[in-house]
């Protein structure tokens, strides 16, 4: 007991100093005006590193939005129309705060395990399995599903359900880790342990690496697919460019817009 107590005494000041130093550095970054975050509307000296390994210019020091959240919010706000029913699976705070406050829409957040989300204190989150959804056919106008399908063992079932609950003229925005060097998606159901998934897929809770055939998976259940730019587009948006920023063009056929994050994933 004496040893443990002594360790706490010796350790705590160092942790506090490190944390204080980090927060102090972030406070300085927050005061800059070189980059603009479309999620929270604040400017900063730069975006902060994030990821493993860390990528530079990713996380907003004000609202924690990542580059993919800025891309998605920039696009989502353009396609939501007054009166829309909007479904947001596995809601990320940086997006949820913005979408939920769009006037004159019906916003539904859903997660397979809502208890894991701190957002539950702000608005209700429906407990829902993306492969077996509780809503009637053609219920939603817009669905936002970001960094979800690479965790779902039966992503075909998830896609079929997304197609079922979206209106015929609805829009889905999805975003996935994606390896452009792979022609075909790689998945092996025999890989089940977190350690093996980390080694093979690059993250302990991923079950596949999507390849260039990802749009075909969406098309196979009846979606038309367009693409957005990748994360590099907004890694460090200069503040003077922010008001005129436009997302990459989608194809004319796009009834559904799908965006693919370029991920650096170890090979197999």
Member of 35, 60, 109, 265 binding Zn ion (CB under 5 A): 60
Q: Output 39 or 48, the one with its CB closest to Zn ion.
A: 39
62 binds Zn ion (CB under 5 A): yes
From the centroid of its chain, how far is CA 223?
20
**How far separated are the first and last CA of the chain, in Å rounded?**
46
Binding-site size, Zn ion (CB under 5 A): 7
Which segment (36-44, 172-180, 205-213, 232-240) binds Zn ion by CB under 5 A? 36-44
DSSP 8-state symbol, 1 = -
Phi, psi of 260 (to 5 degrees): -120, 120
37 binds Zn ion (CB under 5 A): yes
CB 46, min distance to Zn ion, A: 12
Q: Applying CB under 5 A, which part among 25-33, 54-62, 196-204, 249-257 lies near Zn ion?
A: 54-62
Kindly state the smallest distance separating residue 218's Cβ from Zn ion, in Å. 29
CB of 105 to Zn ion, least distance (A): 21
CB atoms under 10 Å from CB of 124, counted, come to 12
Q: What DSSP string describes 149-163?
A: GGG-S-HHHHHHHHH
Residue 81 CA to residue 106 CA, distance in Å, equals 11
- Output the smallest distance, CB 39 to Zn ion, in A: 5
Other beta carbons within 10 angstroms of residue 143's beta carbon come to 26
Task: Determine which residue in the list 30, 45, 57, 63 makes contact with Zn ion, applying CB under 5 A.
Answer: 63
100 forms part of the interface with Zn ion (CB under 5 A): no
Separation CA 12–CA 179 (nearest Å): 42
Least distance CB 23 / Zn ion (angstroms): 16
Q: By CB under 5 A, is residue 29 in contact with Zn ion?
A: no
Closest distance between Zn ion and the C-beta of residue 93, in Å?
A: 11
In the structure encoding, which two tokens stand for residue 2, read together? Answer: 């004496």
How far is 23 from 21, CA to CA, in rounded Å?
6
What are the tokens at 59?
A: 């996380």
30 vs 160 by CB, closer to Zn ion = 30
Q: How far apart are CA 77 and CA 84, in angstroms?
A: 12
Among 29, 48, 58, 65, binds Zn ion (CB under 5 A): 65
Q: What is the contact surface with Zn ion in residues (CB under 5 A)? A: 37, 39-40, 60, 62-63, 65
């Amino acid at each position: 007991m004496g040893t443990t107590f002594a360790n706490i005494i010796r350790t705590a000041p160092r942790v506090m100093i490190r944390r204080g130093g980090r927060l102090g550095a972030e406070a300085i970054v927050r005061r800059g005006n070189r980059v603009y975050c479309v999620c929270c509307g604040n400017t900063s000296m730069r975006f902060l590193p994030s990821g493993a390994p860390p990528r530079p210019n990713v996380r907003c020091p004000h609202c924690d939005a990542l580059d993919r959240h800025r891309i998605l919010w920039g696009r989502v706000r353009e396609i939501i129309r007054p009166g829309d029913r909007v479904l947001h699976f596995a809601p990320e705070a940086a997006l949820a705060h913005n979408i939920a406050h769009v006037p004159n829409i019906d916003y539904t957040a859903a997660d397979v395990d809502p208890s894991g989300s701190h957002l539950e204190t702000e608005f209700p989150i429906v407990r829902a399995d993306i492969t077996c959804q509780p809503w009637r056919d053609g219920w939603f106008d817009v669905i936002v599903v970001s960094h979800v399908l690479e965790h779902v063992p039966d992503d075909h079932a998830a896609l079929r359900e997304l197609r079922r609950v979206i209106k015929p003229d609805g829009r889905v925005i999805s975003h996935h880790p994606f390896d452009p060097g792979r022609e075909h998606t790689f998945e092996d159901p025999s890989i089940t342990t977190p350690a093996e998934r980390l080694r093979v897929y690059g993250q302990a809770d991923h079950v596949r690496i999507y390849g260039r055939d990802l749009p075909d998976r969406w098309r196979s259940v009846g979606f038309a697919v367009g693409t957005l730019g990748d994360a590099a587009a907004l890694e460090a948006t200069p503040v003077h460019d922010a008001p005129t920023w436009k997302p990459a063009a989608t194809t004319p056929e796009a009834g559904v817009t799908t965006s693919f994050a370029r991920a650096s994933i170890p090979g197999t």
